[in-house]
């Protein structure tokens, strides 16, 4: 029996954890009960963490400041945003970016050398989506530049409480005009989860994703082969777990319970630990 | 034999003619040889005419002035543009327009009563495609307003010789955001040809379409059941007639030859004429 359990273990043992931010650690600027301690417990257990957010209006530095203000400490390399991911894709492929993103994000792309093959990077540029800038981007695409989309959301809830246009419609416009298909970087894209898993240095089946969005967090992570835990906070609505192709591995009320499940049931101590 | 021919005739006799403008009557601001006389010959033969253009940057009045400047006379009711068609759709359905069109076209919508159910009308607004105006249109669509598209072209050749974004990408953006499907009015839309045929008071099989664009003019008219004649001027390129699902009924070098074909081979004199 002992040897059987041992040979089973590597495929389910959790060696790293991915955490969504909004709706999992905090909601509307207020930390969720027990969330801070839960993150500390994961660190104490020696589990490497990555925070995955789809924000396309805050730079990495700004998100780290936001987290700190809410009582969460995270290192720069632990925070993965679509802009950070886009940067690593650009650098890996030797591409120079043509940016059509929110002004806040421009600092995430500082220092990438110009003069290489160009790629158009589109995020939630808001009022900066002018005809002139979209047309410039279109001409680059028509000349063969690849199209990187930080996310393809249709809309977001604006300050006045109504829905407003997100980046998705403008990406659809550029795709329609040029015939190109955008490489979408944000969750639920497979690439986002794969890059996050790679950065942990573990295999997907040994990494757990904890999120509140059944579609973006859970379905995407399932497709990438991760263990998944859905929390019933934030964006979660009754029955969400039944609306996706494959159910999450586990559904719990809050982050602290998700962490309990990770540590009690599935955490295999590091070899030699 | 005589009776057989007679019973055959109504399905092929031409009792009205639709003419495309650019590429058929003139190219680059210069009338095509013989075009002016050819139009007069159609009028002399008592054939009712309609001029069908996809322009979305010139009002009906402006196009009539342009034609006059080139030596072609046309009455207001003979000229059908996507804006004119949109107006008749709005009036028929009792809709009030929210316009996102080129400023030149606003006069084509003057006098339509406000306060009824709203419809979003999108044309080639160019620099007026701002985030604010697109977002206003999106919110109307999200609230259930129908979407009328004057045309859905991807791009056009701009003053600097390069391709620029036409209305199509912005319509695709609004469709992606709202989940609505645009009712596209310009050629090759079936509705454009049907409305034109209706305005002649004849059946589609007794109406000929003469155009230089195999896809927009010929394929669309074929689908609407018209007789079709492709001219080898304007946008025509070698072999275009073979690139569409159903070949045109006739292919000729120029408008004057198309008119000859209409009058010699197919024009049945009006009953009692």
- Measured in angstroms, the CA of A119 and the nearest CA of chain B are apart by 18
Torsion over CA of B53, B102, B99 and B68, rounded to 10 degrees? Answer: -40
Q: Which of A163, A90, A92, A93 is nearest to A120 (CA)?
A: A90
Cross-chain Cβ contact B172/A170 below 8 Å = no
Q: Indicate the pTM of the whole model.
A: 0.83
Residues of A in contact with B166 (CB under 8 A): 177
A99-to-A89, B112, B114 alpha-carbon distances in Å: 14, 42, 40
Q: Do B173 and A165 touch (CB under 8 A)?
A: yes
- Give residue-wise pLDDT tens across range B94-119: 999 999 999 999 999 999 999 999 99
Q: What are the residues whose beta carbons fall under 8 Å from the beta carbon of B189, sequence distance 6 or more?
A: B220
pLDDT at site B265: 67
Phi–psi pair at B267, nearest 5 degrees:
-80, 115
Residue of B139, B154, B170 lying closest to A162 (CB–CB) = B139
Which of B160, B162, B164 would best serve as a mutation to test chain A binding (most A beta carbons within 10 A)? B164
Q: CA A155, B90, B178: angle at the middle one, nearest 5?
A: 10
Mean pLDDT, each 10-residue run in order, chain A (273 residues)? 34 88 93 96 96 93 96 95 95 96 96 95 96 98 97 88 94 97 94 94 96 94 96 93 92 97 74 43
Is ipTM strictly over 0.90?
Answer: no
Q: Which run of H or E residues covers position B27?
A: strand B26-27
Test B173 with A170 for CB contact under 8 angstroms: yes
pLDDT at B12: 73
Give A231's strand partners: A252
> What is the Cα–Cα distance from B73 to B77, expressed in whole angstroms?
12
Contact A165 B172 (CB under 8 A): no
Tokens representing residue B193 in the block = 């040809």
Q: What is the pLDDT of residue A257?
A: 97
Average pLDDT over residues B74-79: 96
| Sequential DSSP letters for A45-77 | TT--EEEE---SSS-HHHHHHHHHHTT----GG
Query: Which 3 state secondary structure label does DSSP give B20?
Result: strand
Q: Do A165 and B142 touch (CB under 8 A)?
A: no
| Residues on chain A touching B174 (C-beta within 8 angstroms) | 169
Query: What is the C-alpha to C-alpha distance for residues B27 and A132, in angstroms, rounded to an integer?
Result: 28
Omega before residue B148 within 30° of 0, cis: no
Find the helix or strand (DSSP H, E) in which A93 lies: helix A82-93
Distance (Å) from the alpha carbon of B169 to chain A's nearest alpha carbon: 4
pLDDT score recorded for residue B235: 87
Residue whose tokens read 């013989």: B34
pLDDT mean over B231-253 = 93
Backbone angles phi, psi at B151, to 5 degrees: -165, 170
Q: Are strands A79-80 and A49-52 parallel, antiparallel or unpaired?
A: parallel
Please tell me the distance from the alpha carbon of residue B269 to that of residue A85, in angstroms, as a whole number. Answer: 72
Q: Please, which residues have CB within 8 angstroms of residue A254's CB and are 6 or more apart in sequence?
A: A32, A33, A34, A35, A231, A232, A233
Q: Which H or E element spans position B184? A: strand B183-184
Say what the pLDDT of residue A126 is. Answer: 94
Of A139, A165, A174, the CB nearest to B134: A165
What is the rounded distance in angstroms from the CA atom of residue B86 to the CA atom of residue B82? 6
Long-range contacts for A59-63 (Cβ within 8 Å, ≥24 apart)?
A59/A83, A59/A104, A59/A105, A59/A107, A59/A108, A60/A84, A60/A108, A61/A107, A62/A104, A63/A21
pLDDT at B6 (0 to 100): 33
Tell me what pLDDT residue A81 has. 96
Min Cα–Cα distance to chain B from A137, Å? 10
Q: Under DSSP, is residue B134 helix (H, G, I), strand (E, B) or coil? A: helix
Question: Cβ of B131 and A130 within 8 Å?
Answer: yes
Nearest chain A residue to B127 by CA distance is: A131
Q: Which residues of A touch B (CB under 8 A)?
A: 126-132, 134-135, 138-139, 142, 154-155, 162-166, 168-170, 172-177
User: Across the A/B interface, how many CB contacts are shorter than 8 Å?
Assistant: 85
């Amino acid at each position: 029996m002992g040897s059987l359990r041992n040979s089973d273990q590597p495929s389910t043992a959790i060696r790293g954890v991915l955490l969504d931010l909004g709706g999992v650690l905090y909601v509307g600027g207020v930390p969720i009960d027990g969330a801070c301690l839960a993150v500390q417990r994961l660190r104490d257990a020696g589990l490497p963490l990555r925070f995955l957010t789809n924000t396309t209006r805050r730079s990495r530095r700004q998100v780290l400041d936001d987290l700190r203000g809410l009582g969460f400490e995270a290192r720069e390399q632990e925070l993965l945003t679509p802009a950070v991911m886009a940067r690593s894709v650009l650098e890996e492929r030797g591409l120079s970016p043509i940016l059509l993103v929110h002004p806040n994000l421009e600092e995430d792309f500082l220092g990438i050398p110009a003069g290489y093959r160009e790629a158009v990077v589109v995020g939630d540029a808001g009022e900066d989506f002018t005809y002139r800038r979209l047309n410039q981007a279109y001409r680059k695409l028509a000349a063969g530049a690849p199209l990187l989309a930080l996310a393809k959301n249709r809309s977001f809830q604006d300050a006045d409480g109504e829905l407003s246009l997100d980046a998705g419609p403008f990406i659809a416009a550029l795709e329609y005009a040029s015939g190109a298909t955008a490489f979408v970087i944000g969750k639920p894209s497979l690439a986002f989860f794969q890059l996050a898993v790679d950065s942990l240095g573990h295999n997907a089946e040994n990494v757990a994703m904890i999120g509140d969005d059944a579609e973006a967090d859970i379905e995407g992570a399932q497709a990438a082969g991760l263990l998944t835990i859905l929390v019933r906070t934030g964006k979660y609505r009754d029955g969400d777990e039944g609306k996706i192709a494959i159910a999450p591995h586990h559904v719990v009320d809050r982050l602290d319970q998700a962490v309990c499940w990770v540590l009690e049931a599935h955490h295999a101590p590091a070899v030699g630990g």
